[in-house]
Amino acid sequence: MHWTYSLPIPATLDQQTVRACLKAWLIPKRIQGQLRQGRRIIVNQRPASVATIVHTNDQLTLVFVPTDFRTPKSAYLPDSTQTVPILYQNADLLVVNKPAGVKSHPNQPGETGTLLNFLAAQTAAQAGAPYMVHRLDQMTSGAMLVALNPVVVPILDRLISSKAIRRTYRAWVRGRFATDRGQFTAPIGRDPLDKRKRWVNTADAQPAVTDYQVLTTAGDHSLVELHLHTGRTHQLRVHLAASRHPIIGDPLYDPLAKRAPRLLLHAIELQLIIPFTGESVRVNAPLPAIFNDLERLKTY
């Protein structure tokens, strides 16, 4: 098993070394070293080193092998009982519209019925396989990014951690805000009283930043758009609950959760940076119908 990439050198990397190209493409240093040691770097069909100078439109070929990666093989059991809507796909990744109530990935050996299990079945016909990049909580719906090979997993991880890949959410929350936009900055850690939960300003709290903007209201509820600057567990849910605006239907943080049929949190957009090309792509996941039923929302 191996993965071969033949990459034309763009004008932005003209007269740069192969090493500079690998760095620009966010390939981890450990993997750069293994490509070098394994002599798996080729320029214009000739073996090359990381010190080789390349020019615009040269063809740089990289051959990746399983030992380059911590998780070279996708081992999710295929489950064809549900088809996941695909919003965007290329050879390296896809963005799906995750349904509410479906777990992102299995937690136990042999477990099925999760998004990654469904995608294992869907991608098998294309000789592909899903690899986890980030996750959405079980009750959250919307755009979720999945890799199709281990090569792009560390690249996508770095793009997410550097905020080059941006995620936008919408949520219906309880109450009205004093201002139409703002920022939550309270650090988040484990709730000392409930191991299922997180909370703000705990002893182990880590920095957490969330932007919000109020889009509309219905009764005593507000629809907000949310942007993550950090990625703490339950960050959106905790920041909103701590501000006394819990997300409607949140089983952990909304005292009136039983009134609503589901957690009203949806990942509406992913702004992607495509590995190796640097192309920016916006992928939108349509709002579920429940988000637009204002009269019904007033009863939750």
Which are the contacts of 30, defined by CB distance < 8 A and separation ≥ 6? none
92 part of the active site: no
Backbone angles phi, psi at 186, to 5 degrees: -65, 130
**Residue spans of beta strands (DSSP E) within the chain:** 3-8, 16-17, 41-43, 46-47, 53-54, 59-64, 86-89, 93-98, 131-132, 141-147, 166-174, 181-184, 188-190, 198-200, 210-218, 221-228, 265-273, 280-284
Helical segments of 162-276, H only: 235-242
Backbone angles phi, psi at 278, to 5 degrees: 75, 5
Q: Of residues 68, 92, 137, 254, which has the active-site annotation? A: 137
Q: Which of 193, 298, 191 is nearest to 248 (CA)?
A: 298
DSSP, collapsed to helix, strand or coil, labels residue 52 as coil
Task: Report how far residue 100's alpha carbon sits from residue 241's, in angstroms, rounded to the nearest whole number.
Answer: 20
The first and second tokens of residue 132, run together, are: 């986890």
Backbone angles phi, psi at 30, to 5 degrees: -60, -45
User: Cα angle at 286 between 280 and 291, to 5 degrees?
Assistant: 135
Residue positions annotated with a catalytic role:
137
